[in-house]
């Protein structure tokens, strides 16, 4: 479990740096307008989402002596690191036009997500294959997501420090090289240390997009996917706007420099607090899911996310302590979101095997990733376009109108979608008994029980 899990440290590390830092870097340092950055984010993520089914298909049909998943995230490691480095090493804005900078960002962004897909879709698919046991799947995913949260914690502090060493665009370039190199190490360790079950190899896959759409024939998965899609979209806008809200709405209080090192910005502290709470929550949610079931445990976390999102509507200049409290409880909810929904998908893949005779982890996690990325693409695009429309200007105090729209997008919008996610989850009823029945029909329940 640990050998498999450490790979997610690498994906989470780079993922957070891109999600939180990239748009702010290109608007406030490189000089691209928010509208141009929005178009780049939209196109790159839609391209990325469209390639997920192909990667799931290739992974499902692969049959090598090293397995059908591990060779991909091993092969993707170095190209992903190179693309990540160039993404944060743009040409000089003074020497090139907005169109040239837009093309550069788009090319590097697409390349980064292409290699990300090559590695990530097989990696996450492997998690559904490691065990058949209902509760052990929660532990497997919890270990994986604990490694992810460790990567997220590093991603809240390390970029700020690495950027500070050289400062400005050069600092971002140094950060890209350092974190990219570290990512390679962890993906290689994961590929070497984890293992695969040979009985899942050699099964005939479906056409990539047909298999992708065929997952929707699973009625349990349709309900779960709807709930997840609402939560994914709800979490996408705050990811884009966290730095903007911390810099332009809350601001940096006068006492900040007296208690914090000069290289730690307020937004880095906020993210560290949020993800630390997520790490602390994983054992809690594992126990809660054991007692009341995965669906009910996720429902509690969604309710907590609604409350904390609504609370963000009251943010104002200097509300550091208030925001810290909201982020702590929001982080508790986030830990649940990482651990439980993927383990619920793994359960549904066994149900699918009963009815199709296939193991299609790649197809299921490809559409799971597609929903996440498409939600992030659309909401991130809309958020940045709104900022551009209402008059956002980088590097200067923002008008009350701009600040109001930042808070509306950061608070009321995600709260409404989290509420919709909770309502959709009420219709999901797949239980541990349903999983055991499915495994009994495919002849694996006895094997799972004998391994306990």
- Is residue 230 predicted with pLDDT exceeding 90? yes
What is the per-residue pLDDT for 448? Answer: 45
Question: What does 358-386 look like in DSSP terms, one character per residue?
Answer: ---HHHHHHHHHHHHHHHHHHHHHHHHHH
| Helix spans in 293-319 (H) | 294-311
Supply 438's token pair. Answer: 């499915």
pLDDT > 90 fraction of the chain, expressed in percent and rounded = 44
- Is residue 7 predicted with pLDDT exceeding 70? yes
Angle CA 202–436–139, to nearest 5: 80
What is the per-residue pLDDT for 331? Answer: 92
CATH number for the domain whose boundaries are 2-195+207-450: 1.20.1250.20
Q: Identify which of 117, 51, 105, 53 has the alpha carbon closest to the alpha carbon of residue 80.
A: 117
Q: Rounded distance, CA 202 to CA 61, Å?
A: 7
Mean per-residue pLDDT for 109-134?
86
**pLDDT digits 0-9 by tens, 400-422:** 999 999 999 999 999 999 999 99
Residue pair 14/265 in contact by the 8 Å Cβ criterion: no
Lowest mean pLDDT among 22-31, 119-128, 352-361: 352-361
Supply 412's token pair. Answer: 């009321």
Which residue bears the tokens 């919890």?
142
Mean per-residue pLDDT for 325-347?
90
Q: Identify which of 270, 267, 10 has the alpha carbon closest to the alpha carbon of residue 148.
A: 10
What is the per-residue pLDDT for 451? Answer: 45
Mean per-residue pLDDT for 226-252?
90
| Helix spans in 312-442 (H) | 320-356, 361-390, 400-410, 412-425, 432-442
Q: Identify which of 182, 263, 247 has the alpha carbon closest to the alpha carbon of residue 11.
A: 182
What is the per-residue pLDDT for 200? Answer: 66
How high does pLDDT run on average in the chain? 87
Cα end-to-end distance, the chain, whole Å: 16
**pLDDT digits 0-9 by tens, 37-88:** 989 888 888 888 778 778 877 887 777 778 888 899 899 999 999 999 999 9
Domain ranges of the chain: 2-195+207-450
Q: Rounded distance, CA 60 to CA 54, Å?
A: 10
Which residue bears the tokens 């990811």?
239
**pLDDT digits 0-9 by tens, 422-436:** 999 999 988 888 888
CB environment 420-437: b (16+ within 10 A), e (fewer): bbbebbeebebeeebbbe
Residue pair 147/4 in contact by the 8 Å Cβ criterion: no
| CB neighbourhood size of 443 (10 A) | 8
Residue pair 165/24 in contact by the 8 Å Cβ criterion: no
**pLDDT digits 0-9 by tens, 123-154:** 988 887 777 776 787 788 888 888 888 898 89
Q: How confident is the model at residue 199 (pLDDT cuts 50, 70, 90)?
A: low
Supply 333's token pair. Answer: 């909810």
| Helix spans in 194-250 (H) | 208-214, 219-245
Question: What does 67-127 look like in DSSP terms, one character per residue?
Answer: -SSHHHHHHTHHHHHHHHHHHT-PPPGGGS-HHHHHHHHHHHHHHHHHHHHHHHHHHHHHH
Which residue bears the tokens 């193991």?
359
- Is residue 263 predicted with pLDDT exceeding 60? yes
């Amino acid at each position: 479990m640990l050998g498999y899990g450490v790979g997610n440290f690498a994906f989470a590390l780079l993922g957070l740096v891109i999600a939180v830092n990239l748009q702010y870097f290109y608007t406030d340092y490189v000089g691209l307008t928010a509208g141009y950055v929005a178009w780049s984010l939209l196109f790159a993520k839609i391209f990325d989402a469209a390639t997920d089914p192909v990667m799931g298909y290739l992974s499902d049909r692969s049959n090598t002596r090293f397995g059908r998943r591990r060779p991909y995230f091993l092969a993707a490691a170095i190209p992903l690191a190179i693309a990540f480095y160039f993404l944060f090493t743009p040409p000089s804005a003074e020497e090139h036009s907005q169109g040239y900078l837009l093309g550069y960002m788009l090319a590097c962004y697409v390349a980064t997500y292409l290699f990300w897909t090559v590695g990530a879709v097989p990696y996450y698919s492997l998690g559904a294959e490691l065990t058949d046991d209902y509760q052990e799947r929660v532990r497997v995913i919890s270990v994986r997501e604990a490694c992810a949260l460790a990567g997220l914690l590093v991603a809240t502090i390390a970029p700020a420090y690495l950027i500070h060493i050289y400062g400005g665009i050069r600092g971002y370039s140094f950060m890209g090289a350092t974190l990219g190199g570290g990512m390679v190490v962890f993906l290689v360790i994961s590929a070497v240390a984890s293992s695969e079950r040979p009985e899942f190899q050699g099964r005939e896959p479906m056409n990539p997009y047909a298999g992708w759409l065929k997952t929707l024939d699973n009625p349990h998965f349709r309900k779960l996917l709807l709930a997840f899609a609402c939560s994914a979209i709800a979490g996408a806008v705050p990811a884009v706007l966290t730095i903007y809200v911390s810099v332009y709405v809350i601001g940096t209080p006068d006492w900040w420099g007296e208690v914090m090192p000069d290289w730690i910005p307020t937004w880095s502290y906020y993210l560290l607090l949020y993800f630390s709470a997520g790490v602390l929550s994983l054992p809690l949610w594992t126990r809660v899911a054991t007692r009341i079931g995965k669906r009910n445990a996720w429902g509690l976390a969604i309710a907590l996310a609604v409350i904390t999102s609504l609370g963000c509507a009251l943010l104002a200049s200097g509300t550091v302590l208030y925001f810290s409290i909201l982020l702590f409880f929001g982080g508790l909810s986030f830990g649940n979101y990482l651990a439980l929904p993927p383990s619920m998908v793994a359960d549904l893949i066994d149900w699918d095997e009963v009815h199709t005779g296939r193991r299609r982890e790649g197809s299921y996690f490809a559409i799971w990733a597609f929903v996440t990325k498409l939600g992030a693409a659309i909401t991130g695009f809309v958020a940045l376009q709104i900022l551009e429309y209402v008059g956002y200007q980088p590097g200067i105090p923002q008008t009350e109108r701009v600040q109001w729209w930042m808070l509306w997008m950061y608070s009321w919008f995600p709260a409404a979608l989290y509420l919709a996610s909770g309502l959709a989850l009420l219709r999901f009823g797949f239980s541990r008994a349903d999983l055991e029945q499915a495994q009994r029909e495919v002849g694996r329940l006895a094997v799972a029980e004998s391994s306990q």
